[in-house]
Structure 1
Amino acid sequence: MLPPAPAPRRASSRRGLLAAVSATVVAAPALSGCFASSATSGSAGGGDKRIRVAMMQPPRSGLSPLSDDAFKLSRWSTAETLVRLDADGDARPMLATKWRQNGRTWTFDLREGVTFHDGTKLTSADVVRSLQRAAGAAPKPRILDGVEMDVAADGAHTVRITTDDVDPLVPQRLSSPQLSILAAKAYGKKAVNPAGAGTGPFVLTESGGTSYATLDQYEDYWGGRAKAGGIDVKYIPDGTARAAALRSGEADIVEAIPVAQASLLDENQITEVPMPRTNTLYLNAESGPFRKAGLRAAAREAIDARSIVKGVYEGRADVAKGLLGPALPWADTLRAEVTGRARAADPDGAQITIGTFTDRAELPEVAAVLQQQLQKAGFTVKLEIREYANIEADALEGKFDAFILSRATILDSGDPAAYLYSDFASDGSFNIARLADAGVDTALDKASGTPAGDKRRHGIIDAEAAVLKTDAAIPLLHERVIQGDATNVVGSVKDPRERELIGLDTYVK
């Protein structure tokens, strides 16, 4: 698995633990290779067309909401959380209508009139059960890694959450799909089964393991009736096959069209969505040639990211202006020119080794282009490229002079402070740059301790500037995900965080 969105600031050094409590969802016979009919058959809506969706990755943990499979439940609008995030990453009401903070304790008022798919009513006891199960999971959902919290009911429709330390991001944490609220029936002694247990506009009725899933319209949804009669999901890991499903008319919505396949589709069938994922060249500021700020500056000046975007990504990426990209619409408006950087020194043949991994197909090509650019500037460059699982430990131990990483920045909390801290703080758990800078640490501490909102965003941009000033990280580009929609699809959600896909207003004409 590639580097996920980082854990909160107090994250442990545990990484790569992506499996969670396993679950066995109601099984059904495997599909023959075709989508189910998009007609009204099987739809609780009694007349609305069904949506056929081709997804990239099959479930890894039986659709357990305590694993990364939770993002599928969220994208299908079957499981919901107490709060949701808006485009700026601010918390907005969902199953909770309002909340307030008093020191270490947050109080959430629940939405009344909500029913689970099994007909039971949402109460504070359900919220306590779901959050306690998540907090006690092994491993915990990433968003709770390093976070201790006590959850208690305060009446039928109020919940109190108390953390060990004052935490300004509790609402944002509760937006993570891994903290979805499910009915009591979902929770067995060991497994969590989300089938028929959510609160969203679609009810999960069948799962064919790693082959398919079926969801029907939930007529009693608290937010109103969905415009689609249901969703038929098929997992197609091969990108060429996913694109072919859209071209042939077998799929209505297709996740993650590969760049090489995008040109084979009609432009009105694809949408490029900025992702909260940045490709960055990390420079080892602790040892080797790049411990000298002048050589880090020389590397920065030698790199032409535009040629990488044009040549490797065929123009389907955004040249980086900073570590945070267009998936955070506020970042560029707050960002100012970075000043106080070191002057570039003459590389004079300095020998460097750049590491990266094969799991993301573009990165070896990016490495080859950087090798040429840096050699032209006077460096002597060697490349070392392996699978991510076989290179991560060496990168974290500082065995490379530079490392190219495709890094997710906000997927769990919608807030990039945790990413900046884990990657660039002196004690950061993912500090590949081996950076130890007092100015950076001060800026990161300030940003991490500021309540959510405009002041926190300004603090985050100040922390980004402090990192960029050191030249220990040279952001190259921000990736986009290419989503495919048939021309008769209306209202599919283009979400940079990949939490939403099918919503109330999504339908097939």
Structure 2
Amino acid sequence: MARPRTVAVPAALAAAAALIVSGCTTGSSGSSSSGGGDAFRFATVSDANTFDPALGTAATDYTFARMQFATLVYRDADHTILPGLAEKWTSTPDSATFTLRKGLTCSDGKPLTAADVAASLRRFADPATGAAQAPLAFGPGAKVTVTSDDTAGTVGIKLARAWSDMVPALALTGAGIVCGPGLKDPKALARGPVAGAGTGPYTLTDVQRGRAYTFKLRDGYNAFPAYKKEPQGKRAATVKLSIVSNESTAANQLSTGALDYVAFTGPDAARFAGGNYTVTVAPLLRMFIVFNERPGHPGADPRFRKAVAQALDPNAFNRVYGGKGEVMKSYSDSTSPCANTDDSLVTRTDPAAAKTVLNGASVRISGTNGIANGSGNTYVQEALRAAGAKTTLRNVDNATWATEVLGNKGDWDVTLMGHLNFSGTLTPGAMLLTGPNPPAGRNFGGVQNPGFTAGLAKAMATTDQTQKCGAWGEAQKALLERNDVVPLSTVPVAYVWSKNVDGVVANGAADPAGFRVKG
């Protein structure tokens, strides 16, 4: 899913569980709002599509969810699983039991019980809900049974088939726990804040759609993740989020003190090197081409997909973003365990060969302008034009792109995916390339690759890392041989903090619920 230019995205996507997980660490520091700091100001490039955590599909959705709805577990920068609403847990590849912290409450102050948590998880897992991230937690089309014991304060999850990513994937923002008032009126939950629905550290107190939002820290909140590297300062008592249209505008506001923090994918980050700013760089975005492979689209033809791969030069694409990314050999980079490293599996750039297929072909390209104003989309368009294709480009805002492409509401042939792979593993990207089409699943391109699906199933059925990587190798080979994806490069993101604030960058993304104010 694409990454807006100026946004704090929650550290939430899942990673593969290499071993059977047992979490038993203690609660976090700073467990209440006492001593909270002043306002923290940041921006996103586009408005939210929804305020329902289960239905989020774009980065701004995840930001809102992360602040208002807590998850059972979180993930640290080193991929360690941290306690959230659950203080400890045990698991196997097909089951887990979570013991909740004492004293949990909903945002209206009422107790949060194990039965409440179970009800929220059942809704998240229910295919009728249409939660895009549920397959990451339970597997595509999974049968999920959720039980609870209020006396013991435990919640149990049982899967009909093994999915070794279940526990770490429950750090996804889509798995954010919603209290009863939100579950009773999901339409209202999607539209905006519902009193008493939240379980996270902040409540949304002021809404100006398309312009600005204000969040207030909950008094006595006790379920913060205990990051190993805690930021400096006091938790922000107030967080103010603005909608800012482009990076240059956001950079100007940061330099004049109107904003405290901005995330950049473009050159404006260079303005803040040294001096009164702290800059953290992370390879958050993994960029690759996905085709609409449904009947009637050129992507259904394997010759077309190969020709597009031949027309594109990943090294040239990398230079579009400054040349500091990693040219990939799969849909994720080398930091992902089990990612392909075999150059021979990747279709080589060959513009002359591409032209024999693409000359005169009509290609509709869609992409988000939320990544460096859509410069990568423009590169793809020009490369296909050079190969003789007749191209049209919809370079749209992130929310529109998510609706039209990820939600399958638009008519497109080729899209540039800026994948937010916070955990750096292969599973989140895999869910975009297999399983049901939207809205039942996340396979937005309609990819039908039996070899990839079989390899994924084998990888998720084991916790042995050697066997897992072997299965992932088979899966990626099947994917690359058919050119169902065209790997390009990573795009580094620069997180810039003013001297007055600090925050956490975990798994390549800033955690908006961890913002701090110094002084």
Tell me the TM-score normalised to structure 1 length: 0.71
Q: Which residue is 2:242 aligned to? A: 235
Tell me which structure has the larger Cα radius of gyration: 1
Structure 1 residue 489: Cα displacement = 2.2
Distance in 1, Cα, partners of 2:142 & 2:46? 29
Is the contact between residue 48 and residue 61 of structure 2 (CA under 8 Å) also seen in structure 1?
A: no
Q: Which residue is 2:217 aligned to? A: 216
Deviation per CA, 1:231-265, whole angstroms, max 9, x where unpaired? Answer: 321322312432222111011123x4362533444
The reply to whether residue 479 of structure 1 matches residue 491 of structure 2 is yes
Q: Which residue is 1:507 aligned to? A: 517
> Match for 1:49: what amino acid?
D
Structure 1 residue 475: Cα displacement = 0.9
Structure 2 SS opposite 1:423: coil
Q: Which residue is 1:130 aligned to? A: 120
Structure 1 residues 268-277 or 121-130, which shifts more?
268-277
Change (3 A) 1:503 1:194: farther
Q: Which residue is 2:419 aligned to? A: 408
Once superposed, what is the RMSD of the aligned Cα atoms? 4.6
Structure 1 residue 324: Cα displacement = 0.4
Change (3 A) 1:234 1:128: same
Q: For this pair of structures, how many residues does the alignment match? A: 454
Matched residues, percent identical? 22
Distance in 2, Cα, partners of 1:208 & 1:390? 22
Q: 1:65 aligns with which of 36, 46, 53?
A: 53
Distance in 2, Cα, partners of 1:248 & 1:451? 50
Change (3 A) 1:359 1:170: closer
Is the contact between residue 331 and residue 429 of structure 2 (CA under 8 Å) also seen in structure 1?
A: no
Q: Which residue is 1:273 aligned to? A: 282
Structure 1 SS opposite 2:216: strand
Structure 1 residue 429: Cα displacement = 6.7
The reply to whether residue 417 of structure 1 matches residue 427 of structure 2 is yes
Q: Which residue is 1:53 aligned to? A: 42
Deviation per CA, 1:74-122, whole angstroms, max 9, x where unpaired? Answer: 543x531112234465644322233344685432222334445544444
More helix by share: 2
> Match for 1:45: what amino acid?
S
Is the contact between residue 284 and residue 493 of structure 2 (CA under 8 Å) also seen in structure 1?
A: yes
Change (3 A) 1:120 1:456: farther
Distance in 2, Cα, partners of 1:134 & 1:348? 46
Structure 1 residue 385: Cα displacement = 2.1
Q: Which residue is 1:330 aligned to? A: 336
Q: Which runs of 5+ in 2 are unaligned?
A: 5-12, 15-31, 136-140
Change (3 A) 1:242 1:290: same
Q: How does 1:160-239 map to 2 (within 5 A)?
A: 160-184=156-180, 187-190=183-186, 191-192=188-189, 193=193, 198-200=198-200, 202-204=201-203, 206-210=205-209, 211-216=212-217, 218-222=219-223, 227-239=234-246
Deviation per CA, 1:325-381, whole angstroms, max 9, x where unpaired? Answer: 36xx334x7643244678989567432444312533224421244236xx4xxx533
Structure 1 residue 485: Cα displacement = 1.4
> Match for 1:48: what amino acid?
G
Change (3 A) 1:250 1:316: farther
Q: How does 1:61-460 map to 2 (within 5 A)?
A: 61=50, 63-68=51-56, 71-76=62-67, 78-87=68-77, 91-101=81-91, 105-135=95-125, 139-144=129-134, 146-154=141-149, 155-184=151-180, 187-190=183-186, 191-192=188-189, 193=193, 198-200=198-200, 202-204=201-203, 206-210=205-209, 211-216=212-217, 218-222=219-223, 227-239=234-246, 240-254=248-262, 256-257=263-264, 259=266, 261-266=268-273, 268=277, 270-280=279-289, 282=291, 300=309, 303-310=312-319, 312-315=320-323, 317-325=325-333, 329-331=335-337, 335-339=340-344, 346=353, 349-350=356-357, 351=359, 352-360=361-369, 361-371=374-384, 375=386, 379-386=387-394, 388=401, 392=405, 403-408=414-419, 410=421, 416-417=426-427, 419-420=429-430, 422-423=432-433, 430=443, 432=445, 436=449, 439-451=451-463, 455-456=467-468, 459-460=471-472
Distance in 2, Cα, partners of 1:228 & 1:368? 45
Distance in 1, Cα, partners of 2:89 & 2:240? 35
Is the contact between residue 271 and residue 482 of structure 1 (CA under 8 Å) also seen in structure 2?
A: yes
Is the contact between residue 314 and residue 489 of structure 2 (CA under 8 Å) also seen in structure 1?
A: yes
Structure 1 residue 208: Cα displacement = 2.2
Structure 1 residue 482: Cα displacement = 3.7
Structure 1 SS opposite 2:455: helix
Structure 1 SS opposite 2:389: strand
Distance in 1, Cα, partners of 2:165 & 2:434? 20
> Match for 1:330: what amino acid?
S
> Match for 1:359: what amino acid?
T
